[in-house]
Structure 1
């Protein structure tokens, strides 16, 4: 079924602003469509470097539509500007719509206080595993729709249906225009890995093959060699079915998506598992978590964090 996103957004009724990020130039707005919660995420688009390089003689007139001087001092001049726009090559913004939005979605995008956690193996077994169990089933239906039912197949960059295969497709954070902002997602077929905590030494070859295939496919499709890619996972992940993030090393910013306390490079995961096959089952893992995360609602988990 084809979604008419224009119609849905026209029916969007504003409730409140969830968050606004001046670094990523992104705003998340909570509203309703047909009385059901919806989240509208609007992010200003980066410049299309490939388009600019293709016709450098027309720069800056191709980019700038009009100017109004703010001030000048010696050799420094600054002004407000409106930019030329083209929906395909120079879009003003990228829009994401989550509808219907669950309370989990709302908590994820709502502004929140953050905490640094050192999750011991004991905390993981006592609090995190029971939480993960509540986040499976219907909550992963959209993942299984991609892997096994061909949902979004028109966007697939690569699809290997074997047991150790995966789907590689553009992440919703990428506008599919600027290679500098390339952001892909690899979702594996294996059902036995929810997060890095489930990995062991027996997965070293699997992870190496996975990363090598991603690098080859991305190079063939987009011309980016492996030394221009970051391949990493998140802990805690946003959903508990193993998946990898692939971004251009020149990506200017992803909020906290590639920050310390969130992103872990696959190369480092492989090296750690070579040192000790039970590394991630034994390790105390440090990460940043927001108070809107489901884990923070667990009293024992909170108390463990505060007693560290």
Structure 2
């Protein structure tokens, strides 16, 4: 069954979230009686150029690209207004969609807009609340990750793999605009669920993965003149799923907003350096970690609300 057929059967229930900065809306609906989450996001303008490194097509075809121009106002040298833009599914689509179906309650909690709080998670809070929760989020809940690593799922999208990790475009990236590059590196080590499982023994492992990514991705996107210094590597805590993975983003792309802010993202280089400086060999399992958490997150209900900063 194609994704197009699923989207066409989507029946709207309510809006979970809207982001004016990212020009994105997240909708809760149903498909054949089961919950579904549909995310719609405006695409970039690079597609009208036909070339990520040139704007020649814009300058020559702008009169064909914009239509029904409506001027709102003008003042001296400034004019602003609205218009329609020419759409084409292959060259210049109007928006990108992501669909989660069937969507679980956990999915809904993740995407629903909610009040954020800064949590000061102590080692005791981790062992008492978070660690037991992580165990409930393994198994079938991350089967899709195992499918990618071991069962050949999404094999046509894999950019590079070795014995340590596999890297592929994130579902949030259209795979075309190098300025918005967003890839995900998933490690093969199933014993690492989050940064809490990292200690001094993992320093060489993390450095090896980091160095490999910084070498291989610029090779893959050599035609776009991508350099290692253009890449931002970071990890989330709490992560979306509990199998260790690294986010790899073009440093020039700021459109991910909340995904990259302090209290959510931790630079991989900082993690490595912190491990090197930690006197306790148990590493991040013994560190107080301060981060943002939604009131709708299950961990809030389980007791982390008592650790508000």
TM-score of the two chains, using structure 1 as the length reference? 0.93
Q: Which residue of 2 aligns with 1:55?
A: 56
Distance 1:253 1:301 in 2: 29
Q: Which residue of 1 aligns with 2:190?
A: 191
Distance 1:250 1:90 in 2: 22
Q: Which residue of 2 aligns with 1:297?
A: 301
Distance 1:24 1:44 in 2: 8
Q: CA deviation at 1:222?
A: 1.1
Alignment of 1:1-308 (within 5 A): 3-48=1-46, 50-51=51-52, 53=54, 55-56=56-57, 57-58=59-60, 60-61=62-63, 63-160=65-162, 162=163, 165-223=164-222, 224-276=226-278, 277-298=281-302, 300-303=303-306, 305-306=307-308, 308=309
Q: CA deviation at 1:167?
A: 1.2
1:140-174 Cα offsets, whole Å, 9 max, x none, are 111101100001111010122x3xx2110000010
1:232-285 Cα offsets, whole Å, 9 max, x none, are 000000011000000001113113110110000111111111112444122211
SS at structure 2 position matched to 1:89: coil
Confirm or deny: 8 A CA contact 2:119 2:305 kept in the other structure: no
1:154-210 Cα offsets, whole Å, 9 max, x none, are 1010122x3xx2110000010112111110001110011001110011111110110
Gapped regions of structure 2 (runs ≥ 5) = none
Distance 2:67 2:154 in 1: 36
Confirm or deny: 8 A CA contact 2:52 2:178 kept in the other structure: no
Confirm or deny: 8 A CA contact 1:167 1:188 kept in the other structure: yes
Distance 2:208 2:62 in 1: 44
| Residues 252 and 301 of structure 1: CA distance in aligned 2, closer, same or farther (over 3 Å) | closer
Gapped regions of structure 1 (runs ≥ 5) = none
Q: CA deviation at 1:51?
A: 4.5
| Residues 112 and 218 of structure 1: CA distance in aligned 2, closer, same or farther (over 3 Å) | same
Aligned residues: 300
Distance 2:127 2:52 in 1: 51
Tell me which moved more, 61-70 or 191-200: 61-70
TM-score of the two chains, using structure 2 as the length reference? 0.93
1:99-143 Cα offsets, whole Å, 9 max, x none, are 111111111111111111111111111111011111111101111
